[in-house]
Structure 1
Amino acid sequence: MWLSVYNTTLFHRKNQMFEFIPNRVPEFPLKKFEKVSGEAFFVDENLLVYPIEGFPDQDICDASKEAIQNHLLKYSAVSRILQQRQTIELVPLTHVYYAYSGKDYDYFVFGRENKVHTTKYPSSCSIL
């Protein structure tokens, strides 16, 4: 007589992300930032991280506090938090104004890849 016992345990690992982008230039669509990279300015990684305090931009401090509180409230009761990381990434954004054929135009250069975004440009312009 043989007795075989199998015990199956399933583990699911899932990353939860919270992103905050301050809207300093309303004319620029924030969705464009998803396609470019920046430079990591601040990285904090630990079992649990603390909210950022004393950063010159108070919106960043508030977003950090809100993200950490929401993460703890939402996930600590139903799952085990293995690690947290918060990063402040600097993504360059330049707003360029120029005149062409007597008309004023503008465009944005953004990300380390120097991507360009404009809503209107002259049809015969070759700089874009």
Structure 2
Amino acid sequence: MKRVIAALLLCALAVPAMAQDYAEVSLSDARQETQALALMDSIRCVVCQGQPISGSNADLAGDMRRLIRERIAQGDTPEQVRTMLISKYGDYVSFKPRVRPATLPLWIVPLLTLLGGGLLVARRLKRKGA
């Protein structure tokens, strides 16, 4: 019985120690932390897919947040860190994809859809008026 209690006590003491390993540490420079947080809001969680890494609980999102803080603390600009993440995970990781031939559909398809919908509505209204 004493061994069971001792084992439970050891487990109870180990849990808080393990939780501290995963805690995120903010940057000491407020300007750098603001830059890091703004970048985290514009980077998509690869696991959650529709959520920025700033609000994701996924382990990969935590790793990406730590990486962003490390790179900014080392002197990289947010744009350099964004470029590095895009090169590693692809254009999809950014909520603000760059305009280039590979991402043109991301920019053109919504505009064409809006234009097509407008034409359909205009046709329907024209038919009802005639």
Q: Which is greater in Rg?
A: 2
Q: Which has the higher helix share?
A: 2
What is the TM-score when the length of structure 1 is the normalising length?
0.22
Q: Which has the higher strand share?
A: 1
